[in-house]
Amino acid sequence: MKRRVFLRDSALLSLAGLGAPSYLASMISRPPSDQIRLGLIGAKGMGWANTRSTLRQDNIKLVAISDIDDSVLADRTKGRSAVKTYKDYRQMLEDPDIDAVIIGTPDHWHCRMYVDALDAGKHVYVEKPMANSIEECLIMEAAAKKYNDRVIQVGQWQRSGPHYQRAIEMVRSGMLGNIRLVKCWSYQGWMTSTPVKPDGPVPDGVDYDMWLGPAPKKPFNPNRFHFTFRWFWDYAGGLMTDWGVHEIDIALYAMGVRAPKSVLASGGKFAYPDDATETPDTLQAVFEYEDFNMLWEHALGIDGGNYGRTEGISFIGNQGTLVVDRQGFELIPETQGGGMDRSYKIDPRPAFRKQGSDLDRHTANWVKCMRDGNPEGVNCGPITGSVAAINAHMGNVAFKTGRKVYWDQEKNQFINDEEANKLVSVDYHNGWKKPKIQ
């Protein structure tokens, strides 16, 4: 048997050297048993983007898709006749041939599906934000500890960007001096008003009850469906949790903190007061940590963000400021003296521009960790995803209460604030049960 294997591999190597098809080389380098069979839950938007990125890695096979919309299933399986389709994700999770799942649904579904997938023995890539409440984030942390052999990646893909990693190293080096303020922002000019639309019939081929899942029962409205669901509290947390987790994650990681002492937020529907949405189109939130403050800002319908950038993070120190966004980073030195004696406190450096796809790097990291059996090697694991989401949800809690709220990190609750603590948790409806980790 060993001699036959040797002769087979020798023949394949010879063919590869003569310019044989590339799949022969992949057979040599990776045995069939190393193939990762992938299932997707929620095939619209980022669910599909994450899947396409994962499929760019070697020896990944998409075998199943679960979505509540027949039109989405038809579109995503075009030319993929071997891919199984499901309306109910639980039936898909019963398939023992699926090794890993990508969860790309609206936020209100993340916690229940994530726990069910782990319980079914699957590795998980879950889209950000980790969950739609602080309580669900903590449940998902506990589930990760219970199922600690599963490889879990959260879709905060900026963590896999080399230029973000370099910027974080510079922040931690001390070169900026004492950092007293960190700014995070997202100004999204292309996200404008959502016009009011009447409730109407459920589109053909859509399992609306399954789409609602644990969310409160509401009549179908197109504004509460694909994409714009994120502007309604039942399903998401607006731009604060949509973009906020990306930027806040980098800020907290660079500064080495997990939770604020207090949060104060102010904003509202200032740009589009009469449109259909619930979440604020304009918001500022101040997070107080031990030795610095962090300011979050967001606005819909405006592109003019800080430093001429629509989104980003700035670390403002006594010696200089480092500004990083998805395009790269730059260092802005502080000056001292005046006239001919004016000088920089630190040496200026050329701006750094990013290259390649950070999303592809993120999914590649997930795939590598699955193949290596290394849950600890992911760039954005469940604790990281939970920390970013919890901080973002705190900003929304402060906005909803209209006052400064104080956080007890040991107890994972707000201090002497019954109203704020009610907003930590979320109720499940329509017969769905909140996961309990034993």
- For residue 1, pLDDT beyond 50: no
Do the Cβ atoms of 184 and 323 come closer than 8 Å? no
366: closest CA among 105, 116, 55, 112?
55
Per-residue pLDDT, 3: 33
Would strands 311-317 and 179-188 be described as parallel, antiparallel, or unpaired?
antiparallel
- For residue 317, pLDDT beyond 50: yes
Do the Cβ atoms of 11 and 5 come closer than 8 Å? no
Q: What is the pLDDT of residues 40-95, one digit of tens each?
A: 999 999 999 999 999 999 999 999 999 999 999 999 999 999 999 999 999 999 99
Which of 5-9, 65-69, 370-374 has the least mean pLDDT?
Answer: 5-9
In angstroms, what CA-CA distances link 20 with 4, 25, 58, 359?
21, 8, 18, 31
Q: Which pTM value belongs to this model?
A: 0.91
Task: Round to whole Å and give the CA distance between 86 and 378.
Answer: 29
Task: Round to whole Å and give the CA distance between 431 and 398.
Answer: 30
Q: What is the pLDDT of residues 338-353, one digit of tens each?
A: 777 788 899 888 888 9
Per-residue pLDDT, 338: 76
Task: Round to whole Å and give the CA distance between 43 and 74.
Answer: 11
Share of the chain above pLDDT 70, in %: 92
pLDDT confidence bin for 33, thresholds 50/70/90: low
Per-residue pLDDT, 311: 98
Non-local (6+) Cβ contacts of 65 within 8 A are 39, 40, 43, 73, 76, 77, 83, 84, 85, 86
- For residue 99, pLDDT beyond 60: yes
| Average pLDDT, integer, range 245-251 | 98
Task: Round to whole Å and give the CA distance between 301 and 26.
Answer: 47
Would strands 179-188 and 293-300 be described as parallel, antiparallel, or unpaired?
parallel
Non-local (6+) Cβ contacts of 228 within 8 A are 194, 222, 276, 277
- For residue 109, pLDDT beyond 60: yes
Mean residue pLDDT of the chain comes to: 92
DSSP classification of residue 203: P
DSSP classification of residue 339: G
| Average pLDDT, integer, range 102-130 | 98
- For residue 6, pLDDT beyond 90: no
Non-local (6+) Cβ contacts of 174 within 8 A are none
One-letter-per-residue 3-state SS of 104-173 = CCCHHHHHHHHHHHHHCCCEEEECCCCCCCHHHHHHHHHHHHHCCCCCEEECCHHHHCHHHHHHHHHHHC
Per-residue pLDDT, 193: 96
Non-local (6+) Cβ contacts of 125 within 8 A are 50, 54, 100, 101, 102, 103, 152, 153, 154, 155, 363, 366
Do the Cβ atoms of 314 and 183 come closer than 8 Å? yes
In angstroms, what CA-CA distances link 312 with 94, 184, 355, 434?
41, 6, 17, 35
| Average pLDDT, integer, range 229-239 | 98
Per-residue pLDDT, 336: 87
DSSP classification of residue 179: E
Length of the chain: 438
Q: What is the pLDDT of residues 164-180, one digit of tens each?
A: 999 999 999 999 999 99
